[in-house]
C-alpha cells in the first residue's frame, strides 16, 4: 500500500555528522547498501530491524522497519537517488506515520565516503524536508532516565572554580 506524501516546503534545518571508521570504504558502503548488513547496525542500541529491503540504484526502494525493545515497530520507507559506489549515497526516508498514514518526518540523507588515515571518513548530511509534531515520537526512543540524566550532566559540564 502506498500512501501519498506531501513534501512540505523545506524546513531548512539539517544535521551534519562525521565519523571515522577503521575499515575500507568499499566495506562501509556495502554495510549501507546490503540489507543483511544494514539490518545489523541500523537504529538505536537494543533495536532490531526485522524488515530490511534495499534496492540501491536511482529510484530503488528502501524499507526499514525498526523494532523497539518493547516490541513497537517503527517503519521507515523511501527511495535512493544517487548511488555511486564506494563514494556517495543519497536517499529519502519517511518515518513516524500519523493516524492517516502520513509520515511526520521526511529527510534527505547524503552519505559521502572518503578514504582517510587508512580507513573511511563518513560525512553525513540529513536535510529535514518535513517534521511535524516530532517531540513525542522521539522521546519514546531514548532509553531510560539515567541515560538522559547523564547526557544532561554532559550538557551542563563546565569548568568552575570550586574551593
Partner 1 sequence: MTSMEARHLDDTFAALADPTRRAILDQLSRGEATVNELAEPFQMSLPAVSRHLKVLERAGLVTRHRRAQFRPCRLEAAPLAEAVGWLERYRRIWEASFDRLDDYLKTMQRENDDDDTP
| Binding positions for partner 1, rule: CB under 8 A | 13, 15, 17, 19, 21-23, 27-28, 30-31, 37, 40-45, 122, 124, 126, 128, 131, 134-135, 138-139, 141-142, 148-149, 151-153, 155-160, 162-163
Angstrom distance (rounded) from CA 106 to CA 109: 10
* Closest to partner 1 by CB, 114 or 124: 124
Query: Which of 30, 71, 65 has the alpha carbon at shortest distance from 49?
Result: 65
Q: Nearest distance from residue 42's CB to partner 1, in Å?
A: 6
Peptide bond connecting 86 to the previous residue in cis, omega within 30 degrees of 0: yes
Around Cβ 87, how many Cβ atoms within 10 Å? 13
Q: Nearest distance from residue 153's CB to partner 1, in Å?
A: 6
**Taking a C-beta distance cutoff of 8 angstroms, is the pair 47, 66 a contact?**
yes
* Closest to partner 1 by CB, 58 or 138: 138
* Closest to partner 1 by CB, 41 or 71: 41
Amino acid at each position: 500500500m502506498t500512501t501519498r506524501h506531501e513534501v512540505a516546503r523545506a524546513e531548512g534545518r539539517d544535521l551534519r555528522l562525521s565519523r571515522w571508521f577503521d575499515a575500507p570504504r568499499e566495506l562501509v558502503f556495502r554495510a549501507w547498501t546490503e540489507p543483511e548488513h544494514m539490518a545489523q547496525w541500523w537504529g538505536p542500541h537494543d533495536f532490531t530491524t526485522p524488515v530490511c529491503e534495499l534496492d540501491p540504484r536511482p529510484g530503488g526502494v528502501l524499507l526499514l522497519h525498526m523494532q523497539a525493545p518493547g516490541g513497537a515497530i517503527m517503519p521507515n520507507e523511501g527511495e535512493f537517488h544517487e548511488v555511486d559506489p564506494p563514494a556517495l549515497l543519497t536517499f529519502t526516508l519517511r518515518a513516524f506515520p500519523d493516524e492517516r498514514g502520513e509520515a511526520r518526518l521526511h529527510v534527505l540523507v547524503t552519505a559521502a565516503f572518503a578514504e582517510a588515515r587508512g580507513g573511511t571518513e563518513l560525512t553525513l548530511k540529513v536535510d529535514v524536508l518535513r517534521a511535524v509534531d516530532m517531540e513525542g515520537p522521539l522521546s519514546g526512543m531514548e532509553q531510560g532516565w539515567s541515560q538522559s540524566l547523564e547526557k544532561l550532566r554532559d550538557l551542563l559540564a563546565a569548568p568552575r572554580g570550586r574551593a
